[in-house]
Structure formats: C-alpha cells, structure tokens
Chain A
C-alpha cells in the first residue's frame, strides 16, 4: 500500500522518542482492520491504511479523559482533523497533547464519502486528490413538494430502530448526558422512536458541530440518509452565520458569539 513504509517510519519515530504515550490508528487483526493503540514499533507490522474508517478521535477523547497528562498520536484523515478542531474548541481535547500524522484519502474513498476536501492541512502520508461536485442528496429532496418531502423523511424515520448508533459513533458527540434520552423531549422506549422529534433533536444538536464525516450514516442499521439531514442543517448554519464546524480552530460557533445581543440576521425584524 502507498505510504505504508513512510507511515511506519513516522510512527516508529514518535514512539521511539517517547513523544507520544501511544499512537492510535488501525491494525489488521484476524483479518479485520480494527482500532489499535500502538505503543511499540514492532506492532506496526499490522498497520492498516486502507479505506475502513473508525471513530479514532472518539477513542482518543476517552483516553485523554483518563490520562490527561499523556500526549497521544493519531493517524488523521481530513475528517479526523475536522473532528480534532471541534474537540479542541469544545475543550474535549488539549491540542498540546495531540500529535497528528496527516493522511490524504484515496480518490476512491473520497468518491464513496462524497468528500469535498479529502486531505488534511498537513499531508504526511498519501497523495492529495481533489474532488469536485456537491453531493446530490439535498438537491434531490428539495426538488420534492413539501408533502413528498414529509413523506420521504417520515418513511425514512419509520425504519429507525433506536439503536443510538448515529450518536454513539459520532466523534463530536461527547456530552455525558444526552438530550435524546431526556424524556420530557423524546418519549422513552419505542421502535421506531417518537417521530420526527428524535431525529430532529439530534439534527439541531449537530447544527454547529457536525463535521460531515459520514460515520453516522455508515452506522445506521436502517440505512436512513442521515448525512443529507445534517448537511442541510450545516448549510443553514453556514448561510445564516457564515460558520462551518471543523474548518478553523479560531472560528467560534454561533451559540458562543450571539451572546451580546448585537447579532442580526439579515432581513429579520426584531
């Protein structure tokens, strides 16, 4: 695989010089690529750089909670880097304690993920591939009548088996108590869960945080097009506030900047 030897060398170096307490990436074990915390260079024989993705930054958040003084390394694609930016902003990770090795995605993976920016800010491994073309999901839905749109989404939500996989796999979902489990908002139990509130509550909560990695949709056992929903919410936030989660560590989310009451939405009346 391209870049495998470079990656091994980079990670070995980090481990050998004790710059990191461990390095998170994937490793092929029993024929399956799985998340792995490398602590010794000799384990790198099984390093996996293929197209399977796991929420490594979420695992990193768990490690950092228990070991706040340790520095960890992580193999980061562009989506992982966007996660890291959000996690730094939300004080879930300390940028001083994270060392990332940047990996550009293959053209094939970028296509599968409909990713517009399939390479991180610093590329240590792999070749930069540009990919054009907006995802079609939103346009397709917006071409429908309101009634058809309603039917579409309610049809999709009616398959939901309330696994919470969309939340559980989400690398930027880190709250210790979750609004989805607040029974004053969403009824407890139920398969499907109460519709459409369950999905809309989650969409709202992702508005200034979703970095469009697509792991939620991959984890959905009902094949609900969750990314389309969250992309629409992202689009709305971008149009209203010019804010895109995961783009820069300096941009603050709207919920933090609207506080002094001076913000006005164009065309709105008070």
Chain B
C-alpha cells in the first residue's frame, strides 16, 4: 500500500500550471491543482484535471519496433539503436550530413531538446533541426526579435489581471490558454476593458466590452487603421516614441494610407468600431495585447506580429508591468524548445549559427567542428525530400501527418524517405510510416524542465517508472549519439544536462535545478544572484531602440472564389489537444467531444440546405474530407471553422502550405474551400442522427 502526490508541471498548453499527480501503488490515479503555484493558484482546466488519464493507457508503446518485410517487429533496445545509428551513419557518409533532418519536440523537456539539437549539430553534422514552433509562433519569434530584440512574451501571466485594457486577437484564450483567461476575467472584475478582434465569437468575445469580427487575414490592415486613428488624434505616447524607438516617421507615412473607410472595406470592421478600439486601447494607462495563432499562422505572420509591436510602442505599452505584446505559446515547452536551440538558424539562447564568434564558442564547448550555414525549416525539409536532398528523418514526438498543412503532400514526401525514425509514446499516423519506432515516455515518467509561455523555467518530476521497456527520451538520445560516435553525451541525469545547457545559453546562465525546486525562474536570468525577469524591456528595449516597421497590407495566399467560395480557418478546441494522441484516449475529454465538426453560420447553412449535425463534404484544391456540420452564429458568414484534432476528418487535408517568406510559417488560418451536401443525407436521417447525439 503506497500513496504519494508528486509535484510537477502540466504537459498540455504553455500556461505552465503546477499540479500534483496522485500515485497509488505505481498507478497514476488522479490530478490535483497545486494550490501554491504562482500561475494557476489551485485551479486547472479540464485538460489539466485529466492529464493523468493517458499516461498508462494500453495504447502506449512499450518496446522498440523495427519494420521487417512490411510489418513492425518488437526488438530489444540494443538492436533498435544499433540499426538507427548504422543507417544514419551510412546515409550521412554517402550523401553528406545535410541529407539528414530532425524534428525535435515541444512536448519534451529542455534537456531533451538541447540534446537533440546537440546530437544533430555535433554528431550528425547538420543544422537541419526544427520543431513545431515553426508552425505556431515562428513569426512571433522573428517579428518580435526584429522589433524589440527578443522574440518572447514581454510580460508575465499573473500581471495580466492588473491591466486596464486587454486586446485579444487571434486567440481563443479560454479554450486554448484557460489559465491566462482566468487573469483576463479577473482584470475585467477590476474594471479593465476587454477588446476582442476575431472572426469567431467564442467565449472571450462574448464576455468582451468590444468584439469585432475581422476578415481572416486582414490583420495588418486593421492594426494600421487603429494606428492611423491614434496618430490623427494625437493619442500616441510621444515621449516613448521619441526616446525609445526608431523608424516612427516611416510608420506614420505608411499608416496615413489606412483611413477607417479603406480599412473597413478590407477588414470588415466598421469605422466606428475601429475608433472605439483605438480610443480604448490608446487611452488606457496599462494596455496588454494577447495573441496566438490567429495572428501568426498567415503568409503575413511576421508582418502581423510586427504590426502589434508597432501598436504597443506607439502607445508606450512596453517595458512596464501589465502591458506588452504577449504571444501565448501553445505547447508546454515550445518556448523552451526554441530557447535551447531546436531551430535551424540558432544555437541555444538564440545565438546565430552564422556568427563566427558564436560558432567558435560552441565548437569549443562541444569539441567538434560545426557547420556555419543555416539548416532547413519544416516546410523546406518536405520540399527537400521531394527533391531527394533529404534521405533520412528523425522525428521526436511530433505527428506531422496530422499537424502539418496539406498533409496529403506531407505523406507523399515522408513515404519517399529512405529511412524514418520516430520516437513517440504512441503509434501515431507518422510513426506508422517509420522503419524504426522508439518508445519514449510521458512527462510523468521523467525529470527535467519545461519553460512556460511567460519564459518561466519550471521543474518536471518523475512520478512513476517508465512503462514496460519504454525509456526517458533523454536516455534514448544520449545512447543514439554515443552509438554514432558522439562524445559529450555521458549524462546520468537531466540535472547534468541542464547544467551544460545553462553554461552555453546566456539567458539561462543563472538557472539551476536547486534554484527552481520551489518556484520557476523567468529568463533572462544571467547569474546565480539574478532574480529573473518578470517583464522585458524595462529600462531599455533589449535591442537598444525599438524598431517601428512600416508595413503594407497584403492579401492571404488563397482567397475564396467561385469554385471554392468559403474561407476555412482552423484551430484548437478546449477539450482536445493537437493531434489528439493524448486527449482522445482520455475518457473525460473524449466524452466532451467524440468527433470532428465544422462550424458554419446558420444563414450559409440554410443557403446550402444543410442541417445541424448533417455530414457534409468539404474540399479545397488539396484535399477532401467529410465532416458533421455545426450551425452557430459564433462564426462569421462566409467563413467556416474546423478543429484539427481529428484524423478521420483531418482539417489539414484542406489547408494551404503557402508560407510566410521570413518565418516559413504556413497559412493555417486562411484557405478557400467548397462545401457540398452528401447525396445520402436525407432530412429524416439527420433528425434521427441528431436525436441519437
């Protein structure tokens, strides 16, 4: 008889909630919110409360698998790792190190992401390492770095509740970042004005003081329009602009071309509403911008982010508590995976691979010669496979066959690989195509750290032993690197890996496990005495002066036309997470949403003769899915929304892989689709189906 509670950090979104896993006789039986945690203060969302449910699910992989004559065979670790090492070595020797690409994982710990990129760079010899941040906030990292010199959330989650105005755009906060929404609710109770700009009327929009629907992809236009009004009215913070920024004149000239009438035409937001938003935001003492994929996942993603940065600087809402430009990061450790260098252009700590001084530093630290050229991003990797420049791929805990845009195209590319290794907890759609599948473990079976959306580095603690023969991912990576002849991978615990990564990552330099046992530390934290940084750009903007970028509006890559008359926008729902490998096998979450649905405005549905719950066919230029219709005024006319969690109606069969020229982020949020009734659907059958549902 044994019972214990183990304090750790949630593995779903980037809020970084503290929780307790209840373990009875080596079974994870429950979750409790940690009462004394600075982010969630004793509360959780439904995903957090259910986070123990997938851990010991029977679908977990427990032995390494190797494909033999078409089928997977269980093998021991020695054989599996030996095979991976020898195949990768052979491919590297024959085709060069750049014929191999690796996807690291925002679900894994900082230590594991550090090891992954070190292995790819120092042992395989390529900078071809990327991860799903490419698909969610790469435009944020690029845009905010260009504007401020640092690509992360400027302020802290707890501060949000003391803002006077909160502008949420492109974020379904209460469903995707519930414990950030909590602070927004509190701010409202304290009298803050809440402004939501979003094509969908979701929960935050319904509790907002002002909600307007913008046309998907019109963000640069409406943000320029707001700035046009602010400058015209003289509401800008002249002192802040003069003392702490550069490039104002060019911005001023650009936004002159965005009078309310023109902006209304592009964005669908009326001149009156533009004015209300401008006044509410500009006149607030402390205004905070929260945004997510609705801003970033566009071919103009970097432009959108730079525009929000312009708006904050114009009104002096930067470098003070409860202000700022705050990207809400989607994965438990997507911030950390970026921080520790799982990106093709930077080493840990955002240090450029093309910078000679930096490269020399890492060559010294790792004792090997390193490549000076930038590696490939995710979309470039798939193109490179098609061009036969990439022969092998190593995928750690990602499922691009469901998560990436235009998955039909991704599948074709992956099938073309000579060798694919997938390290995962589950037999995902992607793992099914691998030659070798290595069983990693969940957050409950290992130690390490995750970095939350507000740059908070926090402990993850092992609650139970790994299932079956599955092994912590850091151990697998160390073994693989060693088997390929790598030196500097003789770690016996995550703590040792963290110490090494802190040494080479200036923004993490002052952090160590001992300092974060009780509470996390927010980077930059540069010395053992440094208390961490709750908000950035305090006395000076990181890059010196903040840069205004004069940006012209550009249309999305694909707009509706006669053949494909609707705009499709995709995203998450509150009860599921990403490709559903964890949430769809968690009974409490599955119960709430068993299948996919497409939100469509009742007027559009009526025109097409579509009823509630009717199965319809949705097609784009790239693919076709069948899906149940859900009629709601929560979506704008002419727009439909599909969550991307469901393989049987995979939204990403439809999405467009056009991407932002700088960040290479795909345009998940806009593509053109056609909706058709299925011939077999009679009204009676639908009524029957509805009654059953």
B43 touches A219 (CB 8 A): yes
Kindly specify which of B1-9, B340-348, B406-414, B494-502 makes contact with the partner chain: B1-9
| Interface status of A150 (Cβ within 8 A of chain B) | no
Q: What distance in Å separates the Cβ of B501 from its nearest Cβ neighbour in chain A?
A: 21
B207 touches A158 (CB 8 A): yes
Question: For residue B18, which residue of chain A has the nearest CB?
Answer: A32
- Chain B contacts with A in 554-606, Cβ cutoff 8 A: 573-575, 588, 591-593
A residues 144-167 touching B (CB-CB < 8 Å):
158-159, 161-165
Instruction: Report the count of interface residues on A (CB-CB < 8 A).
Output: 41
**Interface contact B43-A188, CB-CB below 8 Å:** no
Partner pick for B33 among A36, A63, A66, A165, CB 8 A cutoff? A165
Q: Given A34-B5, A219-B43, A222-B185, A188–B591 Cβ distance below 8 Å?
A: yes
| Closest-CB distance, A107 to chain B (whole angstroms) | 20
Shortest Cβ distance from residue A238 to the other chain B in the assembled complex, whole angstroms: 29
Q: Measured between C-beta atoms, what is the minimum distance from A165 to chain B in Å?
A: 6
B519 touches A159 (CB 8 A): no
Say yes or no: A158-B203 contact (C-beta < 8 A), given A30-B517, A164-B588, A219-B43.
yes
B48 touches A163 (CB 8 A): yes
Closest chain A residue to B179, Cβ basis: A221
Report A171 CB to chain B, min CB distance, Å.
12
Interface centre among B33, B35, B178, B206 (most CB of A within 10 A): B35
Known: A32-B518, A59-B3, A219-B43. A191 touches B174 (CB 8 A): yes
Cβ contacts under 8 Å, B592 to chain A: 162, 188-189
Residues of A within 8 A of B46 (CB): 161-164
B35 adjacent to A163 (CB under 8 Å): no
Inter-chain CA distance A34–B35, complex, in Å, is 9
* Interface set, chain A 1-57, CB cutoff 8 A to B: 21-22, 29-37, 52-55
Contact between chains at A29 and B7 (CB < 8 Å)? yes
Given A35-B20, A54-B35, A165-B33, is A220 in contact with B43 using a C-beta cutoff of 8 Å?
A: yes
Q: Is the CB of B3 within 8 A of A37?
A: yes
Name which residue of chain A comes closest to B30, CB basis: A62
Contact between chains at B43 and A165 (CB < 8 Å) = yes
Judge whether A247 is part of the interface by a CB distance below 8 angstroms.
no
Q: Compute how far the CA of A220 lies from the CA of B202 in the bound complex, rounded to whole angstroms.
A: 20
Q: For the complex, give the distance between the alpha carbons of A158 and B34 in Å.
A: 25
Any chain B CB within 8 A of the CB of A251?
Answer: no
- Interface class of chain B by DSSP: mixed
B89 CB → nearest A CB, Å: 42
Return chain A residues, CB-CB under 8 Å to B49: 163-165, 168
Q: Closest CB-CB distance, B409 to chain A, in whole Å?
A: 31
Asked if residues A22 and B178 are in contact (CB atoms below 8 Å), the reply is no
Determine which of B5, B178, B459, B575 lies in contact with A221 in the assembled complex, contact meaning CB atoms within 8 Å. Answer: B178
CB of B24 within 8 Å of the partner chain: yes
A189 touches which one: B24, B40, B575 (CB < 8 A)?
B575
Do A192 and B593 touch across chains, with their CB atoms under 8 A apart? Answer: no
- Quote the shortest CB–CB distance from A228 to chain B (angstroms): 15
**B356 is an interface residue with CB less than 8 A from chain A:** no
A246 to B36, CA, bound (A): 28
Chain A: minimal CB distance from B502 (Å): 19
* B32 at the A interface (CB under 8 A): yes
Complex Cα gap A17–B630 (Å): 63
Mask of B163-187 contacts with A, CB within 8 angstroms, 1/0 = 0000000000011001101100110
A-B contact pairs, 30 of them (CB 8 A): A31-B517, A31-B519, A33-B35, A35-B32, A36-B5, A52-B36, A54-B32, A59-B3, A62-B22, A159-B174, A159-B203, A161-B203, A161-B574, A162-B574, A163-B44, A163-B49, A163-B178, A164-B588, A165-B43, A165-B44, A168-B49, A181-B591, A188-B592, A191-B175, A191-B202, A191-B203, A221-B43, A221-B45, A221-B178, A222-B181
Q: Which 9 A-B pairs have the closest CB atoms?
A: A31-B518, A221-B43, A37-B3, A221-B182, A30-B517, A163-B46, A191-B574, A32-B36, A189-B592
